[in-house]
Structure 1
C-alpha cells in the first residue's frame, strides 16, 4: 500500500499525528513532519534507492532500466531540484 502524502479529500499535505508500538502498545501523539525521503513519490524513492545500490553509477542504472544515459541523468536532475524545494 502506498503511503498517503496528500489528503484524498482536499489534496493538502498529510502529517503524522500518532505513532504506535506493536510490542507494548505505547502511543505517542503530536504533529510530526515526514522525513524528506517519504515526501517523494514511490517511483522517485525507488530511483534513489537504485542509484545508491548502483554506487551512483548512472551508466549502470541506464543499462538496467533500458534507457539512455541522458534520460537517467535528466531524472536525477529533476529529483535534485525537487529535493532542494522540499528542503527549504
Structure 2
C-alpha cells in the first residue's frame, strides 16, 4: 500500500510545508521550510483531472466522453480548477 503525502494539517486544515528531504541511497538530508509544489497542494481528484487532461492531449471533449459527462460540465470543472489555481 502506497502512503499518500499529506498536504493539509489533520488538526487545523492549514497547508503543510516540507521540512526535510532525504536521499534513500546515500542518506544525504536537506532541511528547511519549503512550500509544496502547486500540483501537490491540489486534491487527489484535481491532480487526476490535470493528468487526464494531459493524457487526452488537452481535449476537454475527449475527457467528457471518457467520463460520460457533457462538454459544458467538463468545461465548468476545468474553469473551477483554473480559478482555484489562480487564487493560490
- Normalised by the size of structure 2, how large is the TM-score? 0.93
Query: CA deviation digits over 1:18-74, x for unaligned, max 9?
Result: 000000001111001111111110110100111011111111101100111111000
Between Structure 1 and Structure 2, how many residues are aligned? 86
Partners of 1:3 and 1:68 lie apart in 2 by 32
Equivalent-residue separation in structure 1 for 2:41 and 2:86 (angstroms): 12
SS in 2 for 1:30: strand
Instruction: Specify the alignment match of 1:52 in structure 2.
Output: 54
Q: Helix, strand or coil for the counterpart of 2:64?
A: helix
Equivalence for 2:22: 20
- In the TM superposition, residue 5 of structure 1 has moved relative to its aligned partner by 1.3
Structure 2 unpaired stretches of 5+ = none
Counterpart-to-counterpart distance in 2, 1:3 and 1:78: 24
| CA RMSD of superposed structures (Å) | 0.8
**Deviating runs (4+, > 3 A) in structure 1?**
none
Match of 1:7 in 2: 9
Name 1:33's counterpart in structure 2.
35
- Look up the SS of the partner of 2:24 in the other structure: coil
Q: TM-score, normalised by structure 1?
A: 0.93
